[in-house]
Amino acid sequence: MFENNMAMYSRYLTELTLAFHIIFATIGVGVPMMIALAQWIGLKKKDPHLLLLARRWARGFVITVAVGVVTGTAIGLQLSLLWPNFMELAGQVISLPLFMETFAFFIEAIFLGIYLYTWDRFKNPYRHLLLLIPVVIGSSMSAVFITIVNAFMNAPQGFELTNGVITAIDPLKAMFNPATPTKVAHVLSSAYMTSAFILASIAAFRILRGSKHAYHKKALHLTLGAAFIFSITTALIGDFSGKYLAEYQPEKLAAAEWHFETDTEVPLVLFGYLNDDKVVKNAISIPYGLSILSNNLPSTEVIGLNEFPVDEQPPLYIHYLFDLMVTIGMGLTFLSTLYLVLVKWKQQWIYKKWLMITTSLSGIAAVLAIELGWIFAEVGRQPWILRGYMKTIDGATASPHVDVLLVVFAVLYLALGIGSIIVLRKMFKQNTAETELKELGL
């Protein structure tokens, strides 16, 4: 019972850390891309509004990077302290991407510092833009290497386990496991998409508050245009992720869709509820949807959850996580599409109050979708921490006082969250874009 409690608290603490860190990690991956887009287009069009946009985004980005470093360090410590059995087993195999992630972050941090302190110091401004390329690459590769570790937990390979002893270790095979392509692509695309919607929500909020300056309108146009592209790619990659699950983690897909009996021509079930007999009620059913998601054909056979032992089945509530994530993603795609349609045919409707309110909430919605996606990914793997090799309860620490650590870190994250909001608010409230533009004579 004691070990069960410690495993439970270890899970709670890890979940809390990941839930908090993922916000800043997502911004850390996506915002450099948006800064690069704004500066590149600004230089190309000789647009001072877009150049100032890049400059202001870069200032705010530094704050999020600082918080991300703290929470990222906490995750590294917690892997060793809370999950020693897992690290003893998996650390021998998957340590290479963890090591490489450190170098990716070093590249990002070094060039970010140089980039920030060399504004207006190059006769050719394109040379300054070149300094941002390592920042974009470093931040994205940092996400790639960490996601590879997570992919390995879902589809472990590159080693042999005999009587508890690991042999025949192949780090590259472990890194390039079947889960890696779809997970890495989905993480990067969704991070770019989420960051675009966060920045779009800021621009929409300023317009909603009465600002009619071209600066905010150009920010809205740039961010929603990028959001449209990345939301489409995220949806396409999500389709590939469904096919990966059907082949390699069928129990996860079955639990997410409340699909219990192996069958063909299986519908896709959205929302609803399960009665006592595990019959789906009041759901939206899309004919052949799950079969098509699994392998593009209505006749595709989809493995049911009853094919797996009860103690190896994921919790059924992941169905709602999956549905909410997909629903939010579809809503955001529709929002960005609607904006571009209005730009083309009904420009007088672009800044309507209802559209600006919806857009100002899109950043929160995108972050929520990211959180739901990660919870679905992690809980959907349960009861395994290393699928097929080690269950979560066996990977956790048996040391006491994890419950105390949970409280301490909760207070820390609360302080970091509030502190970062206060700093960012003061940073931009006391030095508004309008003020800077007046100083530039714009």
Give the DSSP per-residue string, 158-196. S-EEETTEEES--HHHHHT-TTHHHHHHHHHHHHHHHHH
Per-residue tokens: 137: 């690459």
Rounded distance, CA 382 to CA 392, Å? 7
Exposure string for 306-322, b = 16+ CB within 10 A, e = fewer: eeeeeeebbeeebbebb
Return the pLDDT at 2.
42
Q: What is the DSSP string of 195-226?
A: HHHHHHHHHHHHHHTT---HHHHHHHHHHHHH
Name the strand (E) or helix (H) holding 270: strand 268-270
How many angstroms separate the Cα of 218 from the Cα of each of 38, 89, 191, 208, 358? 10, 51, 21, 15, 18
Return the pLDDT at 210.
77
Return the pLDDT at 440.
63
Counting as low any pLDDT under 50, the low residues of the chain are: 1-3
Q: What are the pLDDT digits (tens) for 103-161? A: 888 888 888 888 888 887 888 888 888 999 999 999 899 889 989 988 998 888 888 87
In this structure, how many other beta carbons lie within 10 angstroms of the beta carbon of residue 181? 15
| Domain boundaries defined on the chain | 1-179+392-442
Q: What are the pLDDT digits (tens) for 156-176? A: 888 887 777 787 788 898 889
Cα angle, residue 131 at apex, residues 128 and 136 outer, rounded to 5°: 130
Closest CA to 7 of 378, 312, 396: 396
Helices and strands of the chain, counted as H and E runs? 15, 8
Rounded distance, CA 120 to CA 118, Å? 6
State the residue for tokens 């549905």. Answer: 323
Closest CA to 379 of 251, 293, 291, 284: 251
Cα four-point dihedral sign 237, 239, 240, 245: positive
Rounded distance, CA 63 to CA 419, Å? 10
Return the pLDDT at 1.
41
Return the pLDDT at 196.
93
